[in-house]
Amino acid sequence: MNDTSEIVMTDDIDITLSEIKRQCAQTDDLNIMNVEVCGIRCSVLTVEAMVSTSAMSDLVFQPLMSLRYCQSGDDIFDYLTRQSLLSTQRKTVSSYKEIFTMLFSGFCIILVNGVSKCVALGIQGFDRRSVSTPDSEQTVRGSQDSFGETVRTNLSLVRRRMKTPTLRFEMLTCGKLSQTDVCLMYLADRADAKMVETLKKRINGIELDTVLSSGYIEPFVDAGYKKSFFSSVMTTQRPDVACVRLNEGRICILVDGSPFCLVCPSLFMDSFQTMDDLCTKRYYAAFIRWLKYFAFVLAVVLPGLYLALVMFHPEAFTLKLLLNLYVSEEATPFPLAVEMTLLVVMFEIMREAGIRLPRSVGGAVSIVGGLIVGDAAVKSGLISAPLLIVVGITATSAFVVPQLEQQISVLRLIYIVSGSAAGLFGLAVCTVLFAANICAMDELSVSFLAPLSPFFKDRASGALFRQDLRSCAKRRDTIERYEQG
Amino acid sequence: MNKISPLQLGVLALCARCFSMMTYFPYTGSNTLVFMAALVISCALQGLMLIPAVVLCKREGCGLCEAAAKRSVTLAKTAALLFLAYFIWDIFATVGTFAYFTDQYFSDQISRIPAVICAGTAALYLATMRSGVLGKCAGIVFVLFIAFFVILFLSAADAPDMSNFHLAQRDLPKTLMNDVSGEFVRNRELVMLVFLLGDVKGSCTKAAYSYLAMKLVILETVMGFAALVLGELAQQTDMPVFYLSCYSNSSLIERYDAGFMSVWTMLAVLRLAALVHCAGRCVKVMFPKLTGNSSTIAAGVLPAVAAAALLLKRRWKTVAYLREPTVLIAVTAAVIPCVVYLLVKGRKKAA
């Protein structure tokens, strides 16, 4: 599409139509219906499969055809814009750029001869996926609906849960060609105005041609995206989680076409919290949270630690355990580090295959990979049983914290390499490096490790235990408290 | 912006001190209780020594070099030069100690040259970050240190040997003074603490004295426990903590020296990083035109190059066991802040 911003619309419908046709060239999905209303030429423009035909018939054709006493194009235009309520979304458009934006967003454009403006009516009727259960964040007792691809449907999912006038939705547009709707959501009385402005600036500064999912804007929203190993922008598929975060003064971003909502800024401990925490007893929620922290450590460190201990520090094992390990490892043909790396890489391959394949086949991959190949490898003496147990525990632990699966996968490999190269010395150096990398994250001036580091006495327990809902009702803490000056 | 909370700075300095504590206790020939009493006196002296720096930081609301710059650029550059010289010496000594004790403790697991290169590179990466990041990182390492020692103590608590806990000592005052001095020179991180006080967001007093209080508790606990578990050996050896980790065992783990090495390495990296960070900032005061991380890299590379020559010649024992004069720490941590404070105050009065 050429740049249309400079060209001014005229009141001659033929010139307007020819300009539109010129801009769109020979695109086949543009429908132009010409009609005469009270003897005045009008044109109705739509895009194929983007509008509802029944709504179009009821809200556009019938009212237009029933008009009897119009003397000029201005009368028809006045009727459409002031004397009737044909659609909930109605806009007067006076530039070609706007015409195309509205047209390709599913609006119907009505041109009237003798008027240098046109009317856009929202009668969208494109196919959309219905609200379904969240795939990536399952809960037992939480709600079972998730965000979909249509941004306006997603807004309604949030609005239904937050019936407050302070909930603000700000629509921005990203992508020079895709003109994607990006919605900034926040509670005006809780979110920090400076944070909102900063995010708006960052989103408006995106100069991509297309924005097709939330992943496109994440690097622009997260200032430390390149330097940090972890992400300070969290994603969620659940409207209830988005509402919890909004209530904490965070800012959510929805991108049209993406079923994931970005939450800024996010904290490390967010990855260990679920909606189920709020539906269970506090002691059980605390137990589960501790379990998740432990699973995270296991998933990252266990294979590297096993290698480091077996290869460099066998004296740390008790004699019985050492003899057992020795017997198992003695029978295998590969060096221990190679064995472990191969097994972990194989696991990653199978996991990736399981994700990309249809669900029915994905299950089969797990059975073939996990049971048949694993069992055969141990029986044939290619790998040792303790090693398989270690990788099995590691893999299962990783599933406990799905939010951090990318980081876990890579960190695990790094720990394997450093553990096998330098034992616990290597692991210690790696740990300090990653600790420093995490500590350096302070997106929007909020430390990623808050409230543990820097330490907030009254909020630190929230990282380890679930907050008491009664105390939450009394006190209104927002993310702003963690801001560093 | 470089901002660190009082507690974070205290923990950062404490981590640096814990590295020295885990490396070796200078053997003085006194019994444990006398040494523990000496620790209290030494901490009290350090408390007095920190007063000029704390007062300067409180009155001027900024760091030592920034305060000196209020008087004159030359004064700021001179102060920075003196601190830089001390930090370079400290980096050099820390690298040397780390290399020497890596050889002493773990020569069968990792050789000292790759160990120093790895730890040095990691420290350089950390040093390029803000002091607040180092403080936060110190918090994590400190938690690991505490966790390790709790496990160690639980695994070692077997049959306590109380025979060392008495004050019967020949020539008690002299031994006590000897112990105080011996403990005092192990606190090189005081200079780092003084230098970073200006970064504190909050009370400088809290930062300085929380460090001293935490240090006293930790050193007393570790020393006391090592003496309880190891008995006579704790008194005879320079490395009681290392021996404690070798002695401890449980039904799951036979000995903890590998764990000791991990925690010790983390503390070494952190100490080196903090020192290189401070040295880098001194370089920046002296050469304000340097941009980015070049000053930090320059500050880190200088002592590393000097260390490389010694690394190849195995002369580290001299450096590792060198007992530097007490006056060196006292001058850098107390006299320089005192002089700067008086000069700045004098200028204000004149104005």
What's the pLDDT tens digit per position in B64-93? 999 999 888 999 999 999 999 999 989 988
Interface size A-B, in CB pairs within 8 Å, comes to 109
Contact across the interface for A439 and B133, Cβ inside 8 Å: yes
**Residues A329 and A434 reside in one and the same domain:** yes
**Residues A309 and A398 reside in one and the same domain:** yes
**Residues A62 and A165 reside in one and the same domain:** no
Give the 3-state DSSP-derived string for A237-258, with helices as H, strands as E and coil as C: CCHHHHHHHHHCCCEEEEECCC
Strand, coil or helix: B63: coil
**Residues A42 and A72 reside in one and the same domain:** yes
**Residues A219 and A334 reside in one and the same domain:** no
Residues in Cβ contact with B96 at an 8 Å cutoff, skipping those fewer than 6 apart: B307, B310, B316, B319, B320
Taking the C-alpha atoms of residue B21 and residue B244, their distance in angstroms, rounded to an integer, is 13
Beta carbons within 10 angstroms of residue A154's beta carbon = 26
In the block, tokens 């975060």 appear at A245
Under a CB-based contact definition with an 8 Å cutoff, are residues A103 and A23 in contact?
no
**Residues A414 and A285 reside in one and the same domain:** yes
Beta carbons within 10 angstroms of residue B147's beta carbon = 12
Residue A401 forms part of a structural domain: yes
Q: Which of B129, B254, B258 sits opposite A424 (nearest CB)?
A: B258
Give the distance from residue A471's alpha carbon to the nearest chain B alpha carbon, in angstroms: 27
Comparing CA positions, the residue from A128, A111, A119, A108 lying closest to residue A47 is A108
Question: Is B309 an interface residue toward A (CB < 8 Å)?
Answer: no
Q: How confident is the model at residue A1 (pLDDT cuts 50, 70, 90)?
A: very low
What pLDDT was estimated at residue A484?
Answer: 65
- Please report residues of B whose CB lies closer than 8 A to that of A455: 5, 7, 139
- The structure tokens listed for B72 are 């004159």
Under a CB-based contact definition with an 8 Å cutoff, are residues B344 and B70 in contact?
yes
Identify which has the larger pLDDT, B146 or B348: B146
What's the pLDDT tens digit per position in B167-182? 777 777 888 888 888 8
**Residues A296 and A435 reside in one and the same domain:** yes
**Residues A237 and A287 reside in one and the same domain:** no
The residue out of A440, A455, A478 marking a domain boundary is A440
Contact across the interface for A425 and B256, Cβ inside 8 Å: no
**Residues A322 and A403 reside in one and the same domain:** yes
Taking the C-alpha atoms of residue A42 and residue A64, their distance in angstroms, rounded to an integer, is 10
Average pLDDT for chain A: 88
What pLDDT was estimated at residue A461?
Answer: 81
Give the 3-state DSSP-derived string for B234-279, with helices as H, strands as E and coil as C: HHHCCCHHHHHHHHCCCCCECCCHHHHHHHHHHHHHHHHHHHHHHH
The torsion angles phi and psi of A176, rounded to 5 degrees, stand at -65, -40
**Residues A301 and A242 reside in one and the same domain:** no
Under a CB-based contact definition with an 8 Å cutoff, are residues A423 and A308 in contact?
yes
Q: Which of A312, A315, A425 sits opposite B265 (nearest CB)?
A: A425
The torsion angles phi and psi of A456, rounded to 5 degrees, stand at -110, 105
Residue A318 forms part of a structural domain: yes
Give the distance from residue B283's alpha carbon to the nearest chain A alpha carbon, in angstroms: 23
**Residues A384 and A350 reside in one and the same domain:** yes
Q: Which of A318, A428, A449 sits opposite B266 (nearest CB)?
A: A428
CATH of domain B6-350: 1.20.1740.10
What pLDDT was estimated at residue A3?
Answer: 54
Taking the C-alpha atoms of residue A348 and residue A250, their distance in angstroms, rounded to an integer, is 34
pTM to 2 decimal places: 0.87
* Structural domains of chain A, count: 3
In the block, tokens 């009505």 appear at A110
Mean pLDDT of B94-109: 82
Residue A252 forms part of a structural domain: yes
**Residues A33 and A158 reside in one and the same domain:** no
In the block, tokens 């929805």 appear at A254
Question: Is B137 an interface residue toward A (CB < 8 Å)?
Answer: yes
Structural domain boundaries, residue A432: 281-440
What pLDDT was estimated at residue A265?
Answer: 92
Comparing CA positions, the residue from A178, A201, A210 lying closest to residue A251 is A201
Window 404-433 of A, Cβ < 8 Å to B? 422-429, 431-433
Q: Which of A319, A424, A429 sits opposite B122 (nearest CB)?
A: A429
Q: What interface predicted TM-score (ipTM) does this complex get? A: 0.91
What pLDDT was estimated at residue B311?
Answer: 65
Which sequence spans correspond to the domains of chain B? 6-350
Residue A271 forms part of a structural domain: no
Taking the C-alpha atoms of residue A372 and residue A349, their distance in angstroms, rounded to an integer, is 15
